[in-house]
């Protein structure tokens, strides 16, 4: 799929000012791309406002990211993307520990107000955070939608698994998910009888198999009356593998390959490059550009370098009248011009933090005072150990398998569930391996062949388990804005207040103990240690832990059944503003232990369908009263 | 040699026995493989970060040559023939001749350059013999070097073009198939489990064809012809893909073809080529060109061994273990890494020239 020639330059502010679109979408990430795609398929006109430049519509632009990544010493998840003054991004390297009473950390784009400091990031580039996601793509469990009723926790969902199931399948088609359905039937996850994923599951890594040999069949006592048997199970992946010929009743599946390459065969397959995060060198990993490229061949305008500044509403009706944006012609300068975009309906599709930030910065609030509240992100607890024998670490996709049996169960009455990722990229996340290993080995005065040999030997025995722990909605975990903190375009920056809930910490403590047991079974030497001087350090029950952010942002405009308990309805339509949709993870009332992308994509597919019906309804000529006529 | 009558003309059909078919298909394997070393060398000679368009373009063609190799192997397996890429004469000695009306060019392992692009165009040029009588030409004695697509049953003759060479195989397949049928036998009796299917070869430009009868055999070989040269005359093949000849021509003309274009006048986006952003690798190197004991010689030997192992691995994949083809991806990385170890280093004693991979079979060099 190729972006049409000149697509990035096709629309300018003058064109936008002279047009009322069917729908104006803020943000060209996966949510915006999906909605633009579905609406434009119906012949609807769409404007997508994107904060970042759109030069990267070309393959040269994508390769520019790659080259920046290759050339950067600090390979964090924003490493490929340019630092531009008008569109600052949160970066994990900006995170700092906070001292009580010491005031917020304002050093990064996110203002960290505490009490806990997070290393939450999202990518403000075309394609959004799918440009740096890991593409591990799980469905939420049926019980995740019923947390409130079953276990008495969290906010209520207005929808259940069965309503989302067909949409999950549609999202899996859009993203081109690789998985074997027989691996993914557990804890109540169900599919139609003949369902297969678009592509076959990726092969388990040697490391996965090593771990499986040691831990499969282990009985874990999760509470007094509950024991769960665990095993290593592959994760569904949003990346190209082998298309399943049985997909779509035997019609098969055609994967989308590298976007913007001319005449290249489609479907570049995962080569196991091991840098899925931050960027796949061959675009085997799904990113929103794959969906977006298709839309720009239709009646979809893309206005890049246009940062939404304010949502304007009509005081009487509450309807959104226009989006005010600040457009910077030069990415290296913060000089801007103000413009306005108008549509019949508006979709805020940035992410949970930016959606809330924009609403609050626009002075908009809901009657239940929920905008920005209930900020959620999975809490990651890392544990790491050295295996007794070389296990092929650093080979393959970042994360191919894990332990998912503890995602559900009655124990959730008292403690957070979690899923365990086996990381094929060694201790990198925890310790900065292999760079830190290299430095250590050099300091030991090894060189030449010896140095290379020790580095390989040491790195290829590294095992890192990442426990992705559920976080419940909490009113006090929130995004706010403060006129004192603005970015260089004058936009108010997000101020984050976050505390890891005790429910989550009980899960973390359990996860820490479990990893000790598992390392024991693998005869692996535990090297886990948490430095109190580092950000993310949390004391709980007399022990110290380090909780990192998963960047699965959710909860700041939760959906529900009434305006008294929620910001949007089950179509992600704002209760207060009839023609405004707040979409993405922010609408999710709970997140369970699934990375949020698949569920928010499914929700966006639902929103798109609703919008199509809504626009059709509005277009239908009014039937005049005919009583007495004729 | 026998003849058959078609539309009133006496047509030469050189393939009258399964042994002659085997000889032809083995020649086809050598032919399909022969372009891979030149394409890979040109591809990896490009400076990293430069020549993005050329990189993608050459890479895809190289991958499609792999597809062609696999399609020939499928035809062989379907006809119960064994595939062997490890034979001593499998890798040509470069520079090698390819067939054409005029014997006007040699194929070299060389850096990306205007000359290389010209060679690629020569390899892939769409030519159909002007008449039946000119399909097979007398081949002058060209001296040393491998000649590809010469008639494997009559080495004094070669085909007008690669397209005509495959046309000969298609005719032979039809002829043998009909004769076998007339005798109450089947030509395609190979075990279907030996076929490389889309499961094992995927995303290689075009769909793999699993071969189990005459129709699928012709389909497989037709895909090769169309992808390579656009023998039908159009610039796009049956799957809507631009044929190799026109892909390479874009490098000369500096812009992309798009739908509706006529040959020679691509009207798509500009394509930037920087012939200076290339490692000046040595042309057609033999192992013995590298000084004894030099690090580049060791690197060249290491690559040579990796390549020989790779061919042995492919042979296993084509000889009943198609799942082994899945491992070709990491193998290709190993080949790339080994080549990069050479091309970024100077060639001892040749100022301004870089080391270059040697594809000739190691055993030949060592003997």
Average pLDDT over chain B reads 84
When mean pLDDT is compared across A254-263, A548-557, A579-588, B120-129, the lowest value belongs to B120-129
CB contact under 8 Å between B269 and A262, yes or no, is yes
Closest to A250 (Cα-Cα) out of A195, A203, A178, A175:
A195
Looking at residue B145, its pLDDT comes to: 56
Looking at residue B141, its pLDDT comes to: 61
Rounded to 5°, the CA angle A493-A31-A429 comes to 65
When mean pLDDT is compared across A262-271, B31-40, B348-357, the lowest value belongs to A262-271
Model confidence, pTM: 0.92
Percent of chain A residues topping a pLDDT of 90: 86
Instruction: Read off the pLDDT of residues B111-130 as tens digits, 9 standing for 90 and up.
Output: 999 999 998 988 887 666 66
Bridge partners, B346 (sequence order): B354
Q: B160-179: buried (b, 16+ CB within 10 Å) or exposed (e) per residue?
A: bbbbbbbbbbbbbbbbbbee
Looking at residue B140, its pLDDT comes to: 64
Average pLDDT on B258-287 reads 91
Percent of chain B residues topping a pLDDT of 70: 83
- Is pLDDT above 50 for B10? no
Q: Does some domain include residue A551?
A: yes
In angstroms, the CA A191 to CA A179 distance is: 13
Which residue from A67, A245, A262 is facing B256, i.e. has the nearest CB?
A262
Domain tally, chain A = 1
Looking at residue B121, its pLDDT comes to: 87
More confident residue, A267 or A411: A411
Of the pLDDT bands very low, low, confident and very high (cuts 50, 70, 90), residue A254 is confident
Bridge partners, A339 (sequence order): A325
Q: Does some domain include residue A624?
A: no
Of the pLDDT bands very low, low, confident and very high (cuts 50, 70, 90), residue B208 is confident
Looking at residue B366, its pLDDT comes to: 45
For chain B, the residues whose C-beta falls within 8 A of a C-beta of chain A are 48-49, 52-53, 56-57, 60, 63-64, 198-199, 202-206, 241-242, 247, 256-257, 268-269, 271, 329-330, 333
Looking at residue B60, its pLDDT comes to: 85
Average pLDDT over chain A reads 95
- Is pLDDT above 60 for B102? no
Closest CA of chain B from A295, distance in Å: 20
The enclosing domain of A504 has a CATH number of: 3.50.50.60
Looking at residue B147, its pLDDT comes to: 63
Query: Which chain A residues contact residue B271 at CB under 8 A?
Result: 262
DSSP classification of residue A217: T
CB atoms within 10 A of CB B38: 25
Average pLDDT on A375-390 reads 97
In angstroms, the CA A218 to CA A521 distance is: 9
Looking at residue A622, its pLDDT comes to: 73
SS (H, E, C) B89-146: CCCCCCCEECCCCCCCCEECCCCCCHHHHHHHHHHHCCCCCCCHHHCEEECCCCCCCC
Which residue from B64, B198, B268 is facing A245, i.e. has the nearest CB?
B198
Looking at residue A20, its pLDDT comes to: 98
List the domain range (segments joined by +) for residue A340. Answer: 13-617
Where does residue A176 rank: exposed (0-12), middle (13-18), buried (19+ CB within 10 A)? buried
Token pair belonging to A513: 């103990």
Task: Find the Cα–Cα–Cα–Cα dihedral A275, B325, B316, B333, rounded to 10°.
Answer: -30
CB contact under 8 Å between B202 and A242, yes or no, is yes
Closest CA of chain B from A6, distance in Å: 10
Rounded to 5°, the CA angle A221-A156-A476 comes to 85
DSSP 3-state helix, strand, coil percentages of chain A (rounded to 5)?
Answer: 30, 20, 50
When mean pLDDT is compared across B8-17, B192-201, B299-308, the lowest value belongs to B8-17
Optimal mutation site among A65, A260, A265, interface B, most CBs of chain B within 10 A: A265
Looking at residue B7, its pLDDT comes to: 37
More confident residue, B353 or B232: B353
Looking at residue B153, its pLDDT comes to: 73
- Is pLDDT above 70 for B233? no
Closest to B251 (Cα-Cα) out of B118, B125, B107, B126:
B118
Instruction: Read off the pLDDT of residues A105-146 as tens digits, 9 standing for 90 and up.
Output: 999 999 999 999 888 899 999 999 999 999 999 999 999 999
Kindly report the backbone phi and psi dihedral angles of residue A385, in degrees, each rounded to the nearest multiple of 5, phi listed first. -155, 165
Could you tell me if B78 and B217 are in contact, meaning their C-beta atoms sit under 8 angstroms apart?
A: yes
- Is pLDDT above 90 for A46? yes
Of the pLDDT bands very low, low, confident and very high (cuts 50, 70, 90), residue B139 is low
- Is pLDDT above 90 for A346? yes
Of the pLDDT bands very low, low, confident and very high (cuts 50, 70, 90), residue A318 is very high
- Is pLDDT above 50 for B364? no
Q: Which residue has the tokens 């069965």?
A: A162
Going by DSSP bridges, is the β-strand pair A418-423/A462-469 parallel, antiparallel, or unpaired?
A: antiparallel
CB contact under 8 Å between B52 and A255, yes or no, is no
When mean pLDDT is compared across A97-106, A476-485, B204-213, B228-237, the lowest value belongs to B228-237
CB contact under 8 Å between A242 and B53, yes or no, is no
Of the pLDDT bands very low, low, confident and very high (cuts 50, 70, 90), residue A569 is very high
In angstroms, the CA A130 to CA A279 distance is: 9
Looking at residue B6, its pLDDT comes to: 38
When mean pLDDT is compared across A305-309, A490-494, B118-122, B278-282, the lowest value belongs to B118-122
Looking at residue B149, its pLDDT comes to: 60
ipTM of this complex prediction, to 2 decimal places: 0.83
Which residue from B52, B204, B247 is facing A59, i.e. has the nearest CB?
B52
Listed ranges A491-500, B105-114, B156-165; the one with the highest mean pLDDT: A491-500
CB contact under 8 Å between A263 and B203, yes or no, is no
- Is pLDDT above 50 for B276? yes
Q: Does some domain include residue A622?
A: no
Instruction: Read off the pLDDT of residues B140-155 as tens digits, 9 standing for 90 and up.
Output: 665 555 566 667 777 7
Average pLDDT on B264-292 reads 93
Looking at residue A557, its pLDDT comes to: 98
Average pLDDT on B186-192 reads 96
Query: Which chain A residues contact residue B268 at CB under 8 A?
Result: 5, 262
Q: Does some domain include residue A97?
A: yes
Q: Does some domain include residue A630?
A: no
Which residue from A5, A240, A263 is facing B241, i.e. has the nearest CB?
A263
Instruction: Read off the pLDDT of residues A408-460 as tens digits, 9 standing for 90 and up.
Output: 999 999 999 999 999 999 999 999 999 999 999 999 999 999 999 999 999 99
In angstroms, the CA A395 to CA B98 distance is: 40
For chain A, the residues whose C-beta falls within 8 A of a C-beta of chain B are 5, 59-60, 63, 67, 240, 242-243, 245, 255, 257, 261-269, 271-272
Q: Does some domain include residue A90?
A: yes
Query: Which chain B residues contact residue A67 at CB under 8 A?
Result: 48-49
Q: Does some domain include residue A626?
A: no
- Give the distance between the most distant pair of CA atoms in chain A: 101
SS (H, E, C) A273-316: CCCCCCCCCCCCECCHHHHHHHHCCCCEEEECCEEEEEEEECCC
Looking at residue B50, its pLDDT comes to: 87
Percent of chain A residues topping a pLDDT of 70: 98
- Is pLDDT above 50 for A66? yes
Query: In terms of DSSP H, where are the helices of B198-258?
Result: 214-229, 244-253
Of the pLDDT bands very low, low, confident and very high (cuts 50, 70, 90), residue B92 is confident
Q: Does some domain include residue A2?
A: no
CB contact under 8 Å between A269 and B203, yes or no, is yes
Looking at residue B206, its pLDDT comes to: 62
In angstroms, the CA A495 to CA A96 distance is: 15
When mean pLDDT is compared across A223-227, A498-502, A570-574, B245-249, the lowest value belongs to B245-249
Of the pLDDT bands very low, low, confident and very high (cuts 50, 70, 90), residue B100 is very low
Looking at residue A101, its pLDDT comes to: 86
- Is pLDDT above 80 for A385? yes
- Is pLDDT above 50 for B9? no
Looking at residue A8, its pLDDT comes to: 84
Closest CA of chain B from A327, distance in Å: 28
Closest CA of chain A from B53, distance in Å: 8
Kindly report the backbone phi and psi dihedral angles of residue B187, in degrees, each rounded to the nearest multiple of 5, phi listed first. -80, -40
Query: Which chain A residues contact residue B328 at CB under 8 A?
Result: none
């Amino acid at each position: 799929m190729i972006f049409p020639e000149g697509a990035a330059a096709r629309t300018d502010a003058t064109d936008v000012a002279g047009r009322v679109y069917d729908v104006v979408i803020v943000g060209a990430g996966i949510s915006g791309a999906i909605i633009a795609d579905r609406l434009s398929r119906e012949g609807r006109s769409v404007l997508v406002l994107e904060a970042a430049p759109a030069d990267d519509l070309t393959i040269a632009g994508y390769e520019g990211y790659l080259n920046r990544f290759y050339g950067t010493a600090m390979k964090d998840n924003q490493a490929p993307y340019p630092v531009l003054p008008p569109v600052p991004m949160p970066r994990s390297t900006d995170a700092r520990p906070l001292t009580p009473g010491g005031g917020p950390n304002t050093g990064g784009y996110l203002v960290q107000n505490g009490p806990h400091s997070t290393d939450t990031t999202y990518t403000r580039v075309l394609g959004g955070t799918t440009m740096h996601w890991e593409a591990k793509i799980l469905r939420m469990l049926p019980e995740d939608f019923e947390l409130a009723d079953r276990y008495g926790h969290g906010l209520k969902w207005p929808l259940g698994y069965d309503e989302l199931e067909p949409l999950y399948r549609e999202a899996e088609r859009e993203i081109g998910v690789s998985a074997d359905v027989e691996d993914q039937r557990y804890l109540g996850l169900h599919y139609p009888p003949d369902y297969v994923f678009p592509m076959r599951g990726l092969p388990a890594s040697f490391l996965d198999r090593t771990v499986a040999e040691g831990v499969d069949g282990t009985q874990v006592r999760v509470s007094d009356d509950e024991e769960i048997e665990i095993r290593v199970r592959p994760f569904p992946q949003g990346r190209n593998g082998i298309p399943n010929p049985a997909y779509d009743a035997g019609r098969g599946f055609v994967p989308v390959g590298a976007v913007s390459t001319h005449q290249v065969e489609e479907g570049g397959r995962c080569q196991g490059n091991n840098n899925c995060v931050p960027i796949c060198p061959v675009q085997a990993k799904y990113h929103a550009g794959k969906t977006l490229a298709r839309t720009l061949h239709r009646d979809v305008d893309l206005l890049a370098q246009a940062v939404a500044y304010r949502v304007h509403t009509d005081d009487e009706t509450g309807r959104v009248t226009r989006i005010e944006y600040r457009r910077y012609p030069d990415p290296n300068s913060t000089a801007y011009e103000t413009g306005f975009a108008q549509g019949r309906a508006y979709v805020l599709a940035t992410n949970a933090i930016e959606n809330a930030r924009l609403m609050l910065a626009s002075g908009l609030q809901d009657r239940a005072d929920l905008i920005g509240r209930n900020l959620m992100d999975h809490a990651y607890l890392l544990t790491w150990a050295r295996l007794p024998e070389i296990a092929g670490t650093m080979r393959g996709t970042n994360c191919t398998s894990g332990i998912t049996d503890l995602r559900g169960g009655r124990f959730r009455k008292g403690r957070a569930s979690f899923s365990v990722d086996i990381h094929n990229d060694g201790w990198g996340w925890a310790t900065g391996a292999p760079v830190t290993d290299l430095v250590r080995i050099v300091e030991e005065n090894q060189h030449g062949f010896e140095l290379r040999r020790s580095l390989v030997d040491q790195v290829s025995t590294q095992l890192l388990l990442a426990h992705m722990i559920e976080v419940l909605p909490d009113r006090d975990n929130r995004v706010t804005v403060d006129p004192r903190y603005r970015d260089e375009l004058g936009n108010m920056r997000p101020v984050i207040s976050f505390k890891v809930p005790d429910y989550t910490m009980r899960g973390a403590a359990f996860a820490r103990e479990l990893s000790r047991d598992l390392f024991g079974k693998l005869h692996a030497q535990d090297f886990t240690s948490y430095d109190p001087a580092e950000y993310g350090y949390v004391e709980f029950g007399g022990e110290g832990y380090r909780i990192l952010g998963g960047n699965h942002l959710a909860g700041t405009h939760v959906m529900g059944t009434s305006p008294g308990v929620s910001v949007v309805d089950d179509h992600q339509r704002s209760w207060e503003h009839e023609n405004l949709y707040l979409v993405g993870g922010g609408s999710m009332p709970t997140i369970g232990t699934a990375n949020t992308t698949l569920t928010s994509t499914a929700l966006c597919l639902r929103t798109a369908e609703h919008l199509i019906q809504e626009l059709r309804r509005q277009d239908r000529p009014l039937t005049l009263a005919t009583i007495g006529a004729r | 040699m026998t003849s058959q009558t078609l539309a009133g003309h006496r047509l030469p059909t050189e393939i009258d026995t399964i042994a002659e078919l085997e000889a032809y298909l083995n020649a086809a394997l050598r032919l399909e493989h022969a372009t891979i070393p030149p394409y890979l060398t040109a591809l990896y000679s490009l400076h990293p970060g430069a020549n993005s368009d050329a990189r993608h373009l050459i890479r895809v063609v190289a991958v499609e040559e792999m597809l062609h190799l696999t399609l020939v192997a499928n035809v062989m397996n379907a006809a119960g023939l064994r595939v062997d890429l490890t034979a001593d004469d499998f890798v040509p000695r470069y520079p090698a001749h390819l067939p054409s009306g005029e014997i006007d060019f040699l194929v070299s392992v060389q850096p990306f350059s205007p000359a290389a692009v010209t060679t690629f165009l020569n390899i892939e040029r769409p030519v159909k013999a002007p008449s039946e009588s000119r399909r097979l030409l007398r081949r002058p004695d060209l001296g040393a070097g491998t000649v590809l697509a010469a008639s494997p049953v009559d080495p004094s003759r070669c085909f007008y073009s690669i397209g005509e060479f495959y046309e000969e195989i298609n005719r032979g397949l039809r002829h043998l198939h009909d004769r076998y049928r007339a005798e109450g036998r089947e030509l395609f009796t190979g075990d279907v489990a030996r076929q490389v299917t889309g499961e094992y070869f995927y995303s290689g430009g075009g769909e793999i064809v699993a071969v189990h009868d005459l129709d699928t055999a012709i389909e497989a070989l037709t895909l090769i012809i169309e992808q390579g040269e656009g023998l039908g005359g159009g610039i796009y093949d049956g799957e809507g893909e631009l044929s190799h000849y026109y892909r390479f021509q874009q490098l000369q003309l500096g812009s992309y073809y798009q739908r509706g274009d006529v040959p020679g006048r691509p009207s798509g986006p500009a394509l930037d080529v920087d012939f200076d952003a290339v490692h000046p690798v040595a042309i057609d190197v033999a192992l013995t060109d590298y000084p004894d004991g030099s690090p580049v010689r060791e690197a060249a030997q290491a690559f040579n061994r990796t390549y020989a192992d790779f061919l042995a691995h492919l042979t296993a994949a084509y000889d009943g273990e198609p799942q082994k083809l899945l491992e070709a991806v990491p193998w290709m990385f190993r080949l790339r890494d080994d080549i990069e170890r050479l091309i970024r280093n100077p060639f001892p004693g040749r100022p301004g020239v870089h080391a270059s991979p040697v594809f000739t079979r190691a055993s030949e060099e060592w003997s």
